Amino acid sequence: MKSILFSFLFLSFFLVRAQSSDKESIKEIYNQALSKGKSYDMLYDLCVNIGPRLSGSPGAAAAVEWSRHKMEDLGFDSVWLQPVMVPHWVRGQQEIGRIINSKKIGTREVVVTSLGGSIGTGPSGISAGIVEVKNFDELKQLGTKNVQDKIVFFNRAMDPTKINTFAAYGGAVDQRGNGAVEAAKLGAVAVIVRSMGLGVETYAHTGGMRYVTGVKLIPGVAISTQHAELLSKLLKEEKDLQFYLETHCQILDEAPSFNVVGEIRGGEYKDEIIVVGGHLDSWDLAQGAHDDGTGCVQSIEVLRLFKAMGYKPKRTIRAVMFMNEENGLRGGAKYAELALKNKEKHIAAMESDRGGFTPRGFTMSATEGVKTIIRGWKPLFEPYDVWDFSQEGGGADIGPLASQGVPLIGFLPDSQRYFSVHHTSEDTIDKVDKRELELGAASMAALVFMIDKYGLK
Amino acid sequence: MKSILFSFLFLSFFLVRAQSSDKESIKEIYNQALSKGKSYDMLYDLCVNIGPRLSGSPGAAAAVEWSRHKMEDLGFDSVWLQPVMVPHWVRGQQEIGRIINSKKIGTREVVVTSLGGSIGTGPSGISAGIVEVKNFDELKQLGTKNVQDKIVFFNRAMDPTKINTFAAYGGAVDQRGNGAVEAAKLGAVAVIVRSMGLGVETYAHTGGMRYVTGVKLIPGVAISTQHAELLSKLLKEEKDLQFYLETHCQILDEAPSFNVVGEIRGGEYKDEIIVVGGHLDSWDLAQGAHDDGTGCVQSIEVLRLFKAMGYKPKRTIRAVMFMNEENGLRGGAKYAELALKNKEKHIAAMESDRGGFTPRGFTMSATEGVKTIIRGWKPLFEPYDVWDFSQEGGGADIGPLASQGVPLIGFLPDSQRYFSVHHTSEDTIDKVDKRELELGAASMAALVFMIDKYGLK
């Protein structure tokens, strides 16, 4: 009995010691990030000096070199490139969207932006009538006789009453992704999709769209929510409204590009890898500050913080700048393919791709066992207002690692401002708050620290 | 046994019914605020068409009329003004702060702003040497011999490692409030205070400072954190650095002003009042968007939402626009004085004065009994990411009601961006996110709804 009691006390003592030491280590990580952090400086440099970096573009190539040099300069143990072929889509000159000869407002330019991956109308443009629908069911009910030779206008708004704005996005984005295919099946000549934004905005949101084999390729554009409202209102009174659309985008041959990987090697279990990453490519309309410059610099910052603190990890910590999340996910697929081929043992992968806002928690796609371990650490994060470990989810780029049984973790910041900038001309450095960014980097580093120290078994 | 079991089941049924109905009512409040909210439109109008509204200024008078008309137009049952005399301080022409003849950088203008309530130097300005201190202990140790005829430079930074930025503010703001008095006691001719900001900023933060009877009045200014760093660096090498300060502010005679009060009267217990408010006055440097336009429009929005939903409160709900929080707190004091005089029964007072950011929870200054009741409602708020009911606190304007035993509640939004704009030229409408503002108004309305429905006993 005595020895059991002794063992128990002994164990408790060490548990309390361990907790207290974890608490101190995490405090040190946050202090370092908030008082001497470099994530904002890095992001400023990436946004202002590199700027837009759509897959296949000169900007993307420059960003690859930028990341490599950045991680080399920071003295990571290894930095290398993983070659990957990516789609190469170019916008060409500014799109024209024009309501023609409305009885009510005459001829009026409206704000449109080509959807990524779309074919262009070319310089002769497309003039046609418009039919508005809210979803694919409505479209099918209209049938070929009402859709043939028309432009289909998908106008289902993101639901503002959803508190999780990603859920609102998920409830509307099918129009953008599959609208052109579904409309083309019924003979439409183009699609206009209401921008994936929550408010009444003057600018449009681009984003990826798909074609499928066997269905005619027709052009797709997004229209600003403000002009979506205008167009919808007009269509109620003028069923025969005409619209002119002119886009110059082109799908070019696939282009060579790279994931950029940097790591600091572990001591005790150097073959066990913890990945933390974001995607380096962005849309072409702005600097890709929140999407996903923040995720990239936060990932680099995790490793930099460990070095700055003199922390020698037990496991190998790897920062990955994935290429081509936006219109292909080739980088994520390539990373997983190489991990399998090289028999690498990934014990966890974390992605930051929901913007650089104040942290709230982490999502997880993992076994219940892993979730239980991570949730057990929640009290260590609560002093930093990081409290939500309840939601399912990983990240697009790390997704392909799931089939290798790797636990996936998504950094979860506040979601309220994200869809004001997402895929728009507004996604610029001035929309990022330095302190919020630093808090996010610190939160990510703190969780990577815990995983490194204790593993996930 | 059977009847006890029956009673238990009966009670449970009603509890579950009540909870489910509360859940639905709160959902309706959020839906209304997020899809048909008016708080942002009101704030835009206040910021753009009224603008700065320092106590005693024409802007403050216009804001009083604006609030009265706004609440009348919204059809509140009663709207009235409470007269109150307020301090009247004016800035006059732009301040000059100038480092003179530094061996290293020559003569250089630096960004300074007069502290509210300070006397001016007048057009002849003040030229003097500078001594830097971090706190009042250091100042006292320097003593009269080192301080006499000098400008004292208080340069203790807000601690960026504090997660609660209000705690960081609280740990530094004594320099601004009492610096001039403490320095004057040792013969200083003026004080320069490091701005109450967390980053390296190019602009300065104003804010209130105090004088006390019997101590000479000397001018006080804040310097931008960027120039505080520059000045501190120079002083390390040039102890004899000279500084020129010219400010034109003046303390005028007290001026008449008003609190603006609007209410919708309760049915069942109309004599029980629930107050929700913010302060209408702002500093003069900008539009007072986050400080505290957001609190004002959110308070009006609470009542407007109830009317829009057709909700008839049991108790009387009152929106109060307090005057003169920034440099006197006269409005808050007057409101409490009149409540006592008129024998009004306030069952709760809520204030929003921490910016219009994403809601996190509510602070409370109340009995344990009241705290327990409110904390019992936490599960109803968690679906809206409103989870922190742990912290002590009310609000400056409602503070004087505490002595009448009124439970005080503070709206608690995310605090990370507040001190980038607080008391500066940056506190403008473009820094407010519509959706975050609406979420805050909905959270406040939901808590007022619960207090109205169940009381706090």
Token readout for B147 is 């301080």
- From chain A, the residues in CB contact with B354 under 8 A are none
Mean pLDDT of A19-41: 95
Res B41 pLDDT > 60: yes
Tens digits of residue pLDDT in B192-218:
999 999 999 999 999 999 999 999 999
Query: Ramachandran region of residue B423, left (φ > 0), alpha (ψ -120 to 50) or beta?
Result: left
Confidence at residue A437, expressed as pLDDT on a 0 to 100 scale? 98
Beta bridge partners of A245: A97, A126
Cβ-defined contact of B161 to A35 (cutoff 8 Å) = yes
Pairing of strands B78-90, B250-264: antiparallel
Chain A residues near residue B199 by CB distance under 8 angstroms:
434-435
Q: What is the dihedral of CA A119, A125, A127, A128, to 10 degrees?
A: 0
Whether A385 has its CB under 8 Å from any CB of chain B: the answer is yes
Inform me whether the pLDDT recorded for A293 exceeds 90.
yes
Answer yes or no: are the C-beta atoms of B268 and B314 closer than 8 Å: yes
SS3 of chain B: helix, strand, coil, percent, to 5: 40, 25, 35
At B4, the pLDDT band (50, 70, 90 cuts) reads: low
A387 shares contact with chain B (CB less than 8 Å): yes
Which of helix, strand or coil describes residue B325? coil
Which one-letter DSSP state was computed for residue B207?
-
pLDDT tier, A12 (very low <50, low <70, confident <90, very high otherwise)? low
A160 touches chain B (CB under 8 A): yes
How far apart CA B395 and CA B348 sit, in angstroms, is 12
Q: What is the mean pLDDT of residues A150-177?
A: 98
What gap in Å lies between CA A381 and CA A387, rounded to an integer?
7
Residue with the bigger pLDDT between A246 and A15: it is A246
Which chain B residue has the Cα nearest residue A388?
A: B385
Confidence of residue B445 (pLDDT cuts 50, 70, 90): very high
Q: Which residues pair with B79 in a beta bridge?
A: B262
Q: What six digits make up the tokens of B418?
A: 């507040």
pLDDT beyond 90 at A4: no
CB contact set of A99 (below 8 Å; sequence gap of 6+): A105, A107, A108, A110, A231, A234, A241, A242, A243
pLDDT at A287 over 60: yes
Q: Dig out the tokens for A193 from the structure.
A: 């999709």
| Cα torsion A220, A225, A231, A233: sign | positive
Q: Chain A to chain B, count of Cβ pairs less than 8 Å apart? A: 63
Contact A383 B416 (CB under 8 A): no
- By percentage, how much of chain B surpasses pLDDT 70? 96
Q: Is B44 on the interface with A (CB under 8 A)?
A: no
ipTM: 0.93
Q: Does A163 touch chain B (CB under 8 A)?
A: yes
pLDDT at B368 over 70: yes
Flag whether pLDDT at B6 surpasses 80. no
Q: Residue A106 above 70 pLDDT?
A: yes
CB atoms within 10 A of CB B140: 14
Taking CA–CA distances from A358, the nearest residue in chain B reads: B416
Mean pLDDT along residues B67-87: 98
Say how many C-beta atoms besides its own lie within 10 A of residue B355's C-beta.
29
Q: Compute the Cα dihedral for A191, A196, A202, A208 and give only its sign.
A: negative
Contacts of B62 (CB under 8 A, 6+ apart): B50, B53
B159-196 tens-digit pLDDT: 999 999 999 999 999 999 999 999 999 999 999 999 99
Residue A425 Cα, gap to closest chain B Cα (Å): 16
Alpha-carbon gap: A40 to the closest alpha carbon of chain B (Å): 12
B307 touches B48 (CB < 8 A)? no
Q: Which residues contact B340 (CB under 8 A, 6 or more apart)?
A: B404
Task: Provide mean pLDDT across the span A141-169.
Answer: 98
Helical (H) or strand (E) element with B303: helix B294-309
Q: Is B39 on the interface with A (CB under 8 A)?
A: no
The residue length of chain A stands at 457
* Distances from the Cα of A77 to the Cα of A70, A265, A420, B148, angstroms: 13, 7, 38, 56
pLDDT, residue A384, reads 98
Q: What is the pLDDT of residue B1?
A: 47
Residue B284 scores a pLDDT above 90: yes
pLDDT digits (tens, 9 = 90+) for A321-366: 999 999 999 999 999 999 999 999 999 999 999 999 999 999 999 9
Phi/psi of residue A49, nearest 5 degrees: -95, -20
Contact A160 B435 (CB under 8 A): yes
Which is catalytic among the residues B132, B325, B426, B438?
B325
Pairing outcome for strands B269-279 and B345-351: parallel
Best residue of A31, A416, A419 to probe chain B, by most B CBs closer than 10 Å: A416
Which of A 438-457 lie inside 8 A of B, CB atoms? 439
Q: Write the single-letter amino acid at B26.
A: I
pLDDT tens figures, B79-102: 999 999 999 999 999 999 999 999
Inter-chain touch B199–A434, beta carbons under 8 Å: yes
Assign 3-class secondary structure to chain A: CHHHHHHHHHHHHHHHHHHHHHHHHHHHHHHHHHHHCCHHHHHHHHHHHHCCCCCCCHHHHHHHHHHHHHHHHCCCCEEEEEEEEEEEEECCCCCEEEEEEECCCEEEEECEEECECCCCCCCCCEEEEEEEECCHHHHHHHHHHHHCCCEEEECCCCCCCCCCHHHHHHCCCHHHHHHHHHHHHCCCCEEEEECCCCCCCCCCCCCECCCCCCCCCCCEEEECHHHHHHHHHHHHHCCCCEEEEECCCEEEEEEEEEEEEEEECCCCEEEEEEEEEEECCCCCCCCCHHHHHHHHHHHHHHHHHHHHHCCCCCEEEEEEEECCCCCCCHHHHHHHHHHHHCCCEEEEEEECCCCCCCEEEEEEECCHHHHHHHHHCHHHHHHHCCCECCCECCCCCCHHHHHHCCCEEEEEECCCCHHHHCCCCCCCHHHCCHHHHHHHHHHHHHHHHHHHHHCCC
Interchain proximity A358–B416, CB inside 8 Å: yes
Instruction: Identify the DSSP state of B3.
Output: H
Beta-carbon separation of A199 and B434 below 8 A: yes
Cβ contacts of residue A244 below 8 Å, gap of 6+? A96, A97, A98, A100, A125, A126, A127
- What percentage of residues in chain A have a pLDDT greater than 90? 95
Confidence class of residue B20 from pLDDT cuts 50, 70 and 90? confident
Q: Which two tokens stand for residue A102?
A: 């409305």
Q: What integer is the mean pLDDT of A138-144?
A: 98
Nearest-CA distance from A438 to chain B in Å?
A: 11
Burial of B220-238, coded b for 16+ CB within 10 Å and e otherwise, reads bbbbbbbbbebbeebbeeb
pLDDT at A13 over 60: no
Distance in Å, alpha carbon of A169 to nearest chain B alpha carbon: 15
* pLDDT over 80 (residue A17): no
Q: Sorting pLDDT into bands at 50, 70 and 90, what band is B313?
A: very high
| Separation CA B66–CA B49 (nearest Å) | 10
- B378–A contact, CB cutoff 8 A: no
pLDDT of residue B11: 53
Q: Distance (Å, rounded) from C-alpha A330 to C-alpha A259?
A: 9
Is B170 part of the contact surface with chain A (CB cutoff 8 Å)? no
Instruction: Compute the C-alpha angle A221/A227/A229, nearest 5°.
Output: 115
Domains located in chain A, CATH noted: 29-86+254-454 (3.40.630.10), 94-252 (3.50.30.30)
- Residue A358 contacts B where some CB pair is shorter than 8 Å: yes
Average pLDDT over residues B343-348: 98
Collapsing DSSP to helix, strand or coil, B316 comes out as strand
Mutation choice for B interface testing from A35, A39, A161 by most B CBs within 10 A: A161
Phi and psi torsions of B114, nearest 5°: -60, 145
Beta bridge partners of A403: none
Query: How would you label A276-303 residue by residue, b for 16+ Cβ within 10 Å and e otherwise?
Result: bbbbbbbbbbbbbbbbbbbbbbbbbbbb
* Separation CA B179–CA B186 (nearest Å): 11
Residue written as tokens 């807000």? Answer: B158
B269 reaches A (C-beta below 8 A): no
Cβ-Cβ contacts under 8 Å, A384 against chain B: 163
Which residue among B360, B416, B435 places its CB closest to the CB of A435?
A: B416
Q: What is the pLDDT of residue A309?
A: 96
Determine contact, residues B421/B431, Cβ cutoff 8 Å: yes
Q: Residue B363 pairs with which residues in a beta bridge?
A: B410
Which chain B residues touch A31 with a CB distance below 8 Å?
A: 161
Angle at which helices B2-36 and B434-454 cross, to 10°:
150
**Residues of A with catalytic annotation?**
325
For residue A375, what pLDDT is reported? 98
Encoding tokens for residue B178?
A: 């009492």
Question: Which two tokens mark B295?
Answer: 């609190």
Asked if pLDDT for residue B372 goes beyond 70, the answer is yes
Give the tens place of pLDDT for each residue, B104-153.
Answer: 999 999 999 999 999 999 999 999 999 999 999 999 999 999 999 999 99
CA distance to partner chain A, nearest, from residue B95 (Å): 28
Tell me whether residues A358 and B414 touch, CB distance under 8 A. yes
The amino acid at residue A275 is V
Q: Which of B165, B385, B388, B412 to mutate to probe the A interface, most A CBs <10 Å?
A: B385
> What is the four-CA torsion angle of B264, B269, B271, B275, rounded to 10 degrees?
-50
The residue in chain A having the minimum alpha-carbon distance to the alpha carbon of residue B385 is A163
Interior angle at CA B417, CA B332 and CA B32, nearest 5: 70
Nearest residue in A to B417, CA atom? A433
Work out the mean pLDDT of chain B and round it to a whole number.
96
